[in-house]
Amino acid sequence: MVTRRHFLATSAALTLLPGVALAEEKSDVVIIGAGLSGLNAANLLVEQGFKVIVLDANNVVGGRVRTHHTANGPIDVGASQIGRSYARVIDACWRYGLKLIPEDRDLLKFGAHYQNHWIDNATWASHPLNRCEGEERSIPPLMMGSRLAGKYNPLKNIDDWLDPKFSEYDVSLRTLLRQKGHSAQAIELAALSAPGIGIDETSVLRMWQEETRGALDRKFGTDVKTDAHKDHPFGEAHTRDIVNGLTSTSNIEGGCHLLPLAMARPLGDAVRVNKKVVHIELSSSAGAVTCADGSRYRGRFIISAVPFTVLRKVKISGPPGPSVAQAIATMPYANTARLYLTVDPFWLEDGLPPSFSTDGPLGMFWAIDNHKGTGPHRAMIVLVSAVAREITKRGTEQAVPFLLSELARLRPASAGKVRVNTYMDWGADPLQLGCGFSLAPGQVNSFARTMLEPWEVMHFAGEHTRRSDFGMESAMESGERAALEIMARAA
């Protein structure tokens, strides 16, 4: 059991914070954000005897784990993929009695629509639009970014991206490809499928962190070789070989939002929703939090488990912050917007590839195998990078009809064969302002290695604070890390 002997000794210091009122609610730890990281930290701290309060601005827990319930069943519009190496997530699912099921999202054959032409990847090398040079010519046009980024990845271990010996790679993908002597068209094509926010906006080290961790997950517990030459730039291929009862990627039956709901349940009324934090006051011995509704909470420690894009909108008072202050102010957040559809297989009529990537505002169309060939299929229009930023500007009411019209323009055979299930644009969600960890060129060297150092009594968690994990597992790991940091300081 972790001791709390310092809590009584420091409780008097709490009253020294500016503006503290007697009506403030006291707690050992105030946690901002009730996503996976905040809830995991809360449960671990409660198990060790700490009193916690968890605040979330939304009207429901979960953060970016969100399930929309539609006429065609639950659809996970946020975090949903659980790899075999996600030990903390898998353990939590088993502990809370949630059933893991194989992900059913096998994508049908991909093609490309580039410069108003339909491209067959098999014949691209000899296509008249192909002005690439040497080995570049054989790379499918909308695979150029991910393929070339991966070609130069020197990382062997999942935390190598933070090793100063790789600091020269804290540059944009465009800079790296120019250094390596790639052709102008290869760089132009790479811009259409660069991992992260974009070819100029994302550090290559951040791209390689994701790729290196993803490779570990794909081969975890199996000797099966994965295909390094998949035909689509985003999204993992799912292998159905069973290892320890799991396929390569699992989901939660009934929707992944069941996990944060289950994690919140043992915390009871310690979890407070509709609590938008507007002010955080810090000292060396205590912290206080004020919400938009005027409610105030104070504790010996604070954990911020919300994205830095959201935290930077909160007033933080107290001594100057360490490098994390720079991260809060400037660290970007990637975005994804997706339109979830049910479609009749119009590709059987027009003879074009079922799934395709484009160099236009549609982004990607993913046709999902229904394992029957005919009849309704699930599908998604997936927008990342620059096209995701542009669609956010339209707003949901304009975005959905625009995307449907663009699909009909490119694939006239789709007219009358597409039905909308739901839509999610994480960049338009004011409580998230994006959907994933990113770092701009130069930011690994500038602050990423030290940005998790506490700011006085405030510790940091969330997927955006990842070190050696990614996805849902990085959220769980970060909550555990923050909880252990506080336990060590309180001992």
- Binding site for FAD, residues? 37, 277, 463
The partner residues of 271 in beta bridges, in order of sequence, read 54
**Residue 42 near residue 56 (C-beta atoms within 8 A):** no
**Tokens for 125?**
């090398």
Annotated binding site: 37, 277, 463
Specify the DSSP element, H or E, that contains 463: none
What's phi and psi for 378, nearest 5 deg? -75, 150
| SS3 state at 188 | helix
First to last CA, the chain: 10
449 burial via Cβ count (<10 Å: 0-12, 13-18, 19+) = middle
What's the rounded Cα separation, in Å, for the pair 425 and 78? 10
Specify the DSSP element, H or E, that contains 60: none
| Distance (Å) of CA 3 to CA 26, 314, 489 | 18, 32, 10
**Residue 180 near residue 152 (C-beta atoms within 8 A):** yes
Give start and end residues of each alpha helix (H) in 33-86: 36-47
Pairing between β-strand 82-83 and β-strand 249-252 as defined by DSSP bridges = antiparallel
What's the rounded Cα separation, in Å, for the pair 343 and 380? 10
